């Protein structure tokens, strides 16, 4: 199935922000892959960056190419299920940019299609390899602050103007929760597993906003509370992570820099790639505050783990169960925000709308 020399031949669907900024550079910079074709309605834009690369105007034409092993979906959210199912039916492995699908029922359908096809389907949870998350995860695993009882994860930005992009318009799959929520939820589940209940509050705060641009979600783990927060009117003064335990506190102020580096045109793996200048702060019970150096982040590790899994048919870096768990929490939070009540997330079983 793979090209000569074992290369994985990749077809990328979508060359907007996610495809151009993240997927194309990361695939090209990770050994074992060959970016073979891109599906885009703007061939000139693709060729300005990648001269000579094959471009298909129709995503289905790319999916049906014989020289593609892996299809990567960086297309609008509402296309994820139909395109993933089409790619799996054609015998391709599939990577889906977050969110996996619009809802949990669609996610289950895609996982079932992957099982029938005997192919891998994986969600692009690149922020598992952010420098800030790697630092916090290691410190918690090492027991540095004891048993964590309060955890906050923020992705706050200052974008006061509603932009003319589909993610901020009243279309299926839009809104801040489906945009950033999958990252926040996936990281929380990696640390603490599934919560007992989810309580959420969403708002549209900016002038002219037609979908939520402020989200506040509380995951209930019994004595532990995990707060997931994102907003578009935070000009500064916040933090990326805070963790309070029975033996101390961790504070990570600033976020991983890989997205900024990619936007600036840095090639993944170049000198300085993923190196985080912002140390994590550790507060111990005696009142001592010390800096903890932060490991470099590297989103290429997602594609490296996927590459290593493909020949043997393993699950890859984000197994189907993990993808479904994230969607279960995403859906529970959306239902909670509508109803005003806490919701128990269920990975399997019938879906009931409020």
Band the pLDDT of 119: cuts 50, 70, 90. Answer: very high
Which range is least confidently modeled, 57-61, 87-91, 169-173? 169-173
Closest CA to 42 of 7, 73, 15: 15
Q: What is the mean pLDDT of the chain?
A: 95
pTM score: 0.94
> Pick the residue with more confidence: 164 or 124?
124
Q: What is the DSSP string of 125-138?
A: -GGGG-HHHHHHHH
Q: What is the mean pLDDT of residues 13-41?
A: 97
Tell me: cis bond preceding 287? Omega within 30 of 0 counts: no
Q: 44 CB contacts (<8 Å, ≥6 apart)? A: none
pLDDT score, position 311: 87
Which range is least confidently modeled, 19-28, 160-169, 210-219, 294-303? 160-169
Which range is least confidently modeled, 170-179, 208-217, 263-272? 170-179
Position 350 pLDDT exceeds 70: no
Position 349 pLDDT exceeds 90: no
Give 165's Cβ-side CA count (13 Å radius): 14
Q: What is the mean pLDDT of residues 133-157?
A: 98
User: What φ, ψ does residue 242 adopt, rounded to 5°?
Assistant: -135, 135
Position 329 pLDDT exceeds 50: yes
User: What φ, ψ does residue 66 adopt, rounded to 5°?
Assistant: -80, -15
Q: What is the mean pLDDT of residues 153-177?
A: 92
Give 110's Cβ-side CA count (13 Å radius): 33
Distance CA 98, CA 100 (A): 5
Q: Which residue has the tokens 């599906």?
A: 39
Distance CA 227, CA 241 (A): 10
pLDDT score, position 1: 47
Residue 229, Cβ neighbours under 10 Å: how many? 18
Q: What is the mean pLDDT of residues 342-346?
A: 96
Q: What is the mean pLDDT of residues 52-60?
A: 97
Distance CA 75, CA 17 (A): 10
Distance CA 166, CA 48 (A): 24
pLDDT score, position 312: 80
Q: What is the mean pLDDT of residues 35-54?
A: 97
The residues pairing with 251 across neighbouring beta strands, listed in sequence order, are: 242, 281
Position 211 pLDDT exceeds 90: yes
Q: What is the mean pLDDT of residues 338-347?
A: 95
Residues composing the chain: 354
Domains of the chain, each with CATH number or no CATH: 4-124 (3.40.50.720), 127-296+332-337 (3.30.360.10)
Position 351 pLDDT exceeds 60: no
Work out the angle between the directed axes of helices 131-141 and 176-192 (0-180°, nearest 10). 30
Name the percent of the chain lying above pLDDT 90.
91
Question: What are the pLDDT digits (tens) for 281-327?
Answer: 999 999 999 999 999 999 999 999 999 999 887 788 999 999 999 99
Closest CA to 170 of 131, 133, 204: 204
């Amino acid at each position: 199935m793979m090209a000569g020399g074992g290369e994985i031949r990749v077809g990328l669907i979508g060359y907007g922000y996610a495809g151009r900024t993240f997927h194309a550079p990361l695939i090209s910079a990770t050994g074992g892959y060959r970016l073979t074709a891109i599906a885009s309605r703007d061939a000139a834009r693709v060729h300005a960056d990648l001269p000579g690369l094959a471009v298909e105007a129709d995503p289905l034409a790319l999916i049906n190419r014989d020289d593609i092993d892996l299809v990567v979906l960086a297309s609008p959210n509402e296309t994820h299920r139909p395109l993933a199912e089409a790619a799996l039916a054609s015998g391709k492995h599939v990577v889906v940019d977050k969110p996996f699908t619009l809802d949990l029922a669609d996610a289950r359908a895609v996982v079932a299609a992957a099982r029938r096809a005997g192919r891998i389907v994986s969600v692009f949870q690149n922020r598992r390899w952010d420098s800030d998350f790697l630092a916090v995860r290691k410190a918690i695993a090492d027991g540095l602050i004891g048993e964590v009882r309060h955890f906050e994860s923020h992705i706050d930005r200052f974008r006061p103007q509603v932009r003319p992009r589909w993610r901020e318009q009243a279309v299926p799959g839009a809104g801040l929760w489906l945009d950033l929520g999958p990252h926040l939820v996936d990281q929380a589940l990696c640390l603490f597993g599934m919560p007992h209940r989810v309580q959420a509050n969403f708002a549209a705060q900016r002038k002219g906003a037609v979908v939520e641009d402020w989200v506040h979600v509380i995951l209930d783990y019994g004595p532990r509370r995990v707060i997931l927060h994102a907003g578009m009117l935070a000009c500064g003064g916040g933090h990326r992570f805070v963790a309070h335990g029975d033996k101390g506190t961790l504070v990570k102020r600033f976020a991983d820099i890989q997205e900024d580096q990619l936007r600036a045109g840095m090639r993944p793996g170049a000198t300085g790639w993923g190196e985080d200048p912002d140390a994590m702060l550790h507060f111990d019970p005696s009142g001592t505050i010390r800096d903890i150096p932060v490991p470099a982040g590297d989103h290429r590790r997602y594609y490296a783990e996927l590459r290593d899994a493909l020949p043997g048919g393993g699950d890859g870096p984000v197994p189907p169960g993990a993808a479904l768990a994230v969607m279960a929490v995403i859906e529970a939070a959306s239902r909670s925000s509508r109803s005003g009540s806490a919701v128990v997330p269920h990975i399997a079983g019938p879906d009931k709308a409020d």
